[in-house]
Structure 1
């Protein structure tokens, strides 16, 4: 009886003993100087300051807006933009002496190099720029001059013979030994011979006024402005008539190939222009590209079909193969909270903000979340309440005022 009692007492003593305290783990993160959005700085302006900043506001509204389709595209060469330059006749190619620094790098079509250049792949040329001088193997203009001189001498002799015939028929007619009709025929033949002589002399003068008669070569010029993409001949090389010399591709207009998921094709407004921007500058300069008809192409693996748009390429800013961002208009629309895109500000962390007017001359910065931008309007996923007055003109000045760099 004593042993069970001792065991019970021991177990009660063990239960009544204090358990050791658990070790507290450090917090994974701490937030210092945390502020709620409702505790952000409030800017109060004097009436004079508000007038000087010319602050304008607009009310937050909900409206139906088109849903754009954000995709990426590829710059491609349109068909028919390549032109071949061939030799007009057989001869030897030479660099033209007047070809002074008219070739340009493909990336800069405005600056002129200081030294003469040789046509080469990747060099930009302008329409009408001399590319080569072609010296014929045989000077055809010399043979032509000899032939024209021979024609002129023949016409001269024919005129002299016609004049003698007129004199003879006239004398016979005066002596009543010939007819008046014979005189008229002789005069008509003289007039025709004189006309042929005049024409022969004019033909003889033309080669003397032409370039070919002085330097005996032909200037091969660029038919279009563009970049040399293929070179088949060099200076000092003999070529045959019709031989290809080089190929020039025009980069004035390029196409944008946009792969679109086949499920999205029905809602794309294909007749509207596409908005093109650089991938690293989605909010930067936007170019408009018009839709064009092109041979159908698709990717069965990705379940996409291609749409094509023509884009003006000023100063050769874009290159074939470059990737760009594309915004396509759609036929679908939805209700969304919209404000002018000019009202949205970005801080150094990339967060988006707007300034709300809560009272006369009183403004508070509010955080917003932008879903997308279309036609100068920002469609918001997170925004102040409907009817709130958002600053449009003067928002940047208020941002500078809040952080100490404003007016």
Structure 2
């Protein structure tokens, strides 16, 4: 009985033992190999819709160039500051920076402040002129009565009447000055005020504005600056290590940023300018003059500048339109490896 019980216990223990199988946390169906991540396959219809065209690479010899960023700057001497010729009040429409003006165009009108010959304030001068007018008027009345009685000459009466006219004109001028300072001008004040047209000295763009309409300005106060942009300079900072290879260049290829390789290209000529440099960037500035009669470029605008470095080098060439730029500035091309299959390759 004991032996049988032992076998029974041993058999039950063996049956209770089970094998555990581990289950994967995730299953990826049809995994893509890393080498296939840069390969795409298009249908014929997709190629037509995208307008894809292929070409073969060619081994050619091309000139060596250096592409730098540049900045549009105004030509020194073509920025004019306009000031008020006399003390007065400005009139006209509001002037803003960036507005284009033509040579001789009226920008402001300046109503000159009437001269203060008495040294008094506006109100005090009016009061004095009124008293003077009253005195002269009484004098004219007295001479008129005396002239009727033939007790005074006509010449004395005429002199008194002329003095009356002068006193009346002086009073009107002082009143015009008073109204001018208090913004209460009337039609009767206009003959006693001189209006000066402030014109643009040259055709260009308003750069800075220092005064506004209805503002009282003193003689010599700056009103605005105008800059001619018919011709502009391009400032090109060149790294000191590249300066020797482009120091003799006479022309530069200028293009707005973000344009296609041949879009908006203009040629600029080298000009002699005061030497400037940036020690922090270890660069020296080169300057080129460029026509800008259509105002396509603005002062401060950044542009792409291509300079010739002389000599040439040979290598595989492709159309510029075939180059694709990624978000980090890397350059790539797509190679047709099989019909309708394209593989991305980095351009070094």
TM-score range, shorter chain: 0.5 to 0.7
Partner of 1:135: 111
Verify the 8 A CA contact 2:90 2:217 in the aligned structure 1.
Answer: no
Aligned-residue offset at 1:264: 1.9
Pair 1:366-2:343 in alignment: yes
Query: Could you list the per-position Cα deviations for residues 167-198 of structure 1 after superposition, in whole angstroms to 9, with x for gaps in the alignment?
Result: xxxxxxxxxxxxxxxxxxxxxxxxxxxxxxxx
Given the superposition, is the C-alpha separation of residues 250 and 335 from structure 1 closer, same or farther in structure 2, using an over 3 Å criterion?
same
Per-residue deviation at 1:69?
Answer: 1.4
User: Is 1:36 matched up with 2:35?
Assistant: yes
**Matched residue pairs, number?**
238
| 2:249 counterpart SS class | coil
> What SS class does the counterpart of residue 329 from structure 1 fall into?
strand
Structure 1 portions without partners, runs of 5+:
1-30, 100-116, 140-211, 371-380, 382-407
| Distance of aligned partners of 1:259 and 1:215 in 2 relative to their CA distance in 1, 3 Å threshold | same
Q: Does structure 1 retain, via aligned residues, the 8 Å contact 2:335–2:345?
A: no
Partner of 1:94: 90
Q: CA deviation at 1:42?
A: 5.2
Aligned counterpart in structure 2 of residue 259 of structure 1, from 237, 245, 250: 237
Separation of aligned partners in 2, 1:347 and 1:247: 43
2:336 maps to what in 1? 356
Q: How does 1:140-289 map to 2 (within 5 A)?
A: 216-223=194-201, 224-229=203-208, 231=210, 235-237=214-216, 239-240=218-219, 244-251=222-229, 253-268=231-246, 270-278=249-257, 281=258, 287-288=265-266
Go from structure 1 to structure 2 and tell me whether the alpha carbon gap of 1:337 and 1:133 turns closer, same or farther (over 3 Å shift). Answer: same
SS in 2 for 1:67: strand
**What corresponds to 1:76 in structure 2?**
73
Stretches of structure 2 lacking an aligned partner (at least 5 in a row)? 1-29, 116-189
Give, in whole Å, the separation in 1 of the partners of 2:212 and 2:52: 66
Q: Give the distance between the partners of 1:51 and 1:134, measured in 2 at CA.
A: 66
Match of 2:99 in 1: 124
1:310/1:287 CA distance change after superposition, 3 Å = farther
Do the aligned partners of residues 215 and 357 (structure 1) sit closer, same or farther apart at CA in structure 2, a change above 3 Å counting?
farther
Give the secondary-structure state (helix, strand or coil) at the position aligned to 1:308: strand
| Mapped contact 2:57–2:317 kept (Cα < 8 A) | yes
Q: In structure 2, how many angstroms separate the alpha carbons of the residues matched to 1:135 and 1:38?
A: 75
Pairwise CA distance, 1:314: 5.9
CA contact (8 A) 2:70 2:237 kept: yes
Give how far 1:261 is off.
Answer: 2.7
Q: What secondary structure sits across from 1:296 in the alignment?
A: coil
How far residue 296 of structure 1 moved from its aligned partner, in angstroms, is: 2.2
Q: What's the counterpart of residue 143 of structure 1?
A: none
**CA distance in 1 between partners of 2:331 and 2:38 (Å):** 17
Q: Structure 1 residue 254: deviation in Å?
A: 3.7
The residue aligned with 1:294 is 273
Aligned-pair distance for 1:227? 1.8
Q: Deviations over 1:122-146 (max 9, x none)?
A: 352422443222334579xxxxxxx
User: Which residue of the partner structure matches residue 104 of structure 1?
Assistant: none
| Aligned-residue offset at 1:328 | 2.2
1:355–1:363 CA contact under 8 A, matched in 2: no
- 8 Å Cα contact 2:72-2:299 kept in structure 1: yes
Output the CA distance in 1 between the equivalents of 2:199 and 2:69.
Answer: 39
1:180 counterpart residue number = none
